[in-house]
C-alpha cells in the first residue's frame, strides 16, 4: 500500500504541476483571438511610398497572423501573395517562387480568412465593375464600407494585367519613381486567384483605402500586383469575402528615420497602384 500511495501522490503531484505550468497561459487569449477577426499590418503605406523598403518582420512571423494577404519584400523584391497560408513571391521576372521564412517584409497585410458571405460578380466584369459588385455585397451584409474587408476570387479571366517591381538597393528612391520601371505581365484566357484587401477611407496615410489586388495563376507559377482584369464571359463568379472590425499595426523596431511622413501621398499611391 505504501508503494501505491506513493504512486498516487506522484501522479497527483504531476497533475498539479502540469496544471500549474499550463495555467498561466490559460488567459482567454485563444478565445478572444477567434472572436475578433483583424487585419494584421506590418509597416505604414506612406513610409513605403517614401522609400522605406527595409524589411522589419520575418515571413515566418507574418504567416502566424494570417492565411490570405498582400505585401512586398525586403528591398522591394517583388509582389507578395499569401494564399492558403503559403507566401508566394512574384519577383521582377514574373516567375513565382516560395521565399524562405527568414526573409523579411517592410509592408504586408494578412487576415485569417474565414468568409462570411459571397458576392456574385457578373460575367465579363472588369476590375472596376468587380469592385463595385463587392462593395454592394459588403454594404448589403454589414451596412456600410467602414470595415476592412478581404476577398478571394478563383476565376477564369478573359484578360488580366499584372506587374512586379525591380529589387532596390539603398539609397532607396520613392515608390512612385521605382514603379515607373515596373515589369508588366499581360495574361489572356487565364485561370487563377485574385486576393483582394479593402481599407476604409480613413486609413489613408497608414494603409490602403479602397481595394488592392494581387494575382496568382492557378498553377501558382505567375502573378503580380493587378492593374486591371476582365472576367471571362459566360457564368457569374462567386467571390467569398470577409469583413474585419479590427486592425493591428506593427511598426519597425528601427524606426522610420528620414522618411517624410507628414505630407499627403494619396496621389502617389493611386499612381503606384494603378499606372499601366
Q: Smallest distance from the beta carbon of 249 to a copy of itself, in angstroms?
A: 4
* Window 76-115: residues binding a copy of itself (CB under 8 A): none
Question: CA end-to-end span of the chain, whole Å?
Answer: 84
Distance CA 120, CA 136 (A): 10
In the list 102, 144, 169, 276, the residue contacting a copy of itself (rule: CB under 8 A) is 144
Residue 35 found at the interface with a copy of itself (CB under 8 A): no
Residue 184 found at the interface with a copy of itself (CB under 8 A): no
DSSP classification of residue 254: T
Residue appearing with cell numbers 519577383: 91
Nearer to a copy of itself, 17 or 100 (CB): 17
* Window 211-270: residues binding a copy of itself (CB under 8 A): 245-257, 259, 261-262, 264
Cβ atoms within 10 Å of 41's Cβ, excluding its own: 28
Which residues, 6 or more positions from 204, have their beta carbon under 8 angstroms from its beta carbon? 264, 266
Q: Which stretch binds a copy of itself (CB under 8 A): 87-95, 127-135, 149-157, 202-210?
A: 202-210
Q: Which stretch binds a copy of itself (CB under 8 A): 11-19, 159-167, 175-183, 214-222?
A: 11-19
Q: Smallest distance from the beta carbon of 248 to a copy of itself, in angstroms?
A: 4
Structure-block grid coordinates of residue 114: 474565414
Distance CA 52, CA 108 (A): 13
Distance CA 230, CA 161 (A): 9
Residue 60 found at the interface with a copy of itself (CB under 8 A): no
In the list 93, 97, 124, 146, the residue contacting a copy of itself (rule: CB under 8 A) is 146
Structure-block grid coordinates of residue 221: 507559377
Q: Are 272 and 175 in contact (CB under 8 A)?
A: yes
Which residues, 6 or more positions from 110, have their beta carbon under 8 angstroms from its beta carbon? 39, 40, 62, 63, 65, 66, 67, 68, 69, 71, 82
Q: Smallest distance from the beta carbon of 240 to a copy of itself, in angstroms?
A: 21
Residues that bind a copy of itself (rule: CB under 8 A) add up to a total of 56
Task: Single out the residue of 124, 103, 113, 92 nearest to residue 223, CA to CA.
Answer: 92
Residue 136 found at the interface with a copy of itself (CB under 8 A): no
Residue 124 found at the interface with a copy of itself (CB under 8 A): no
Q: Which stretch binds a copy of itself (CB under 8 A): 44-52, 114-122, 173-181, 211-219?
A: 44-52
Residue 27 found at the interface with a copy of itself (CB under 8 A): yes
In the complex, the residues that contact a copy of itself under the rule CB under 8 A are 1, 3-5, 7-8, 11-12, 14-15, 18-19, 22-30, 33, 36, 38, 44, 46-47, 142-144, 146-147, 200-206, 245-257, 259, 261-262, 264
Amino acid at each position: 500500500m505504501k508503494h501505491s500511495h506513493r504512486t498516487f501522490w506522484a501522479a497527483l503531484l504531476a497533475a498539479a504541476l502540469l496544471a500549474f505550468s499550463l495555467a498561466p497561459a490559460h488567459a482567454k487569449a485563444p478565445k478572444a483571438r477567434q472572436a475578433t477577426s483583424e487585419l494584421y499590418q506590418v509597416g505604414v503605406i506612406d513610409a513605403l511610398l517614401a522609400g522605406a523598403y527595409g524589411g522589419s518582420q520575418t515571413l515566418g512571423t507574418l504567416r502566424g497572423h494570417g492565411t490570405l494577404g498582400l505585401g512586398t519584400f525586403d528591398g522591394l523584391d517583388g509582389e507578395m501573395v499569401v494564399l492558403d497560408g503559403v507566401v508566394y513571391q512574384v519577383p521582377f521576372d514574373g516567375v513565382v517562387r516560395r521565399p524562405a521564412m527568414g526573409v523579411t517584409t517592410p509592408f504586408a497585410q494578412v487576415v485569417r480568412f474565414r468568409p462570411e458571405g459571397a458576392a456574385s460578380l457578373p460575367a465579363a466584369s472588369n476590375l472596376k465593375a468587380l469592385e463595385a459588385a463587392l462593395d454592394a455585397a459588403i454594404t448589403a451584409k454589414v451596412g456600410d464600407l467602414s470595415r476592412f474587408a478581404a476577398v478571394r476570387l478563383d476565376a477564369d479571366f478573359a484578360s488580366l494585367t499584372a506587374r512586379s517591381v525591380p529589387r532596390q538597393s539603398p539609397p532607396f528612391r520613392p515608390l512612385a519613381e521605382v514603379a515607373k520601371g515596373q515589369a508588366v505581365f499581360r495574361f489572356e484566357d487565364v485561370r487563377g486567384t485574385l486576393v483582394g484587401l479593402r481599407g476604409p477611407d480613413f486609413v489613408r496615410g497608414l494603409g490602403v483605402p479602397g481595394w488592392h489586388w494581387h494575382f496568382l495563376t492557378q498553377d501558382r507559377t505567375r502573378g503580380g500586383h493587378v492593374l486591371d482584369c476582365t472576367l471571362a464571359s459566360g457564368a457569374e463568379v462567386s467571390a467569398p469575402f470577409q469583413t474585419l472590425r479590427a486592425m493591428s499595426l506593427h511598426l519597425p523596431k528601427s524606426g522610420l528615420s528620414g522618411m517624410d511622413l507628414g505630407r499627403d501621398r494619396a496621389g502617389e499611391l493611386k499612381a503606384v497602384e494603378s499606372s499601366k
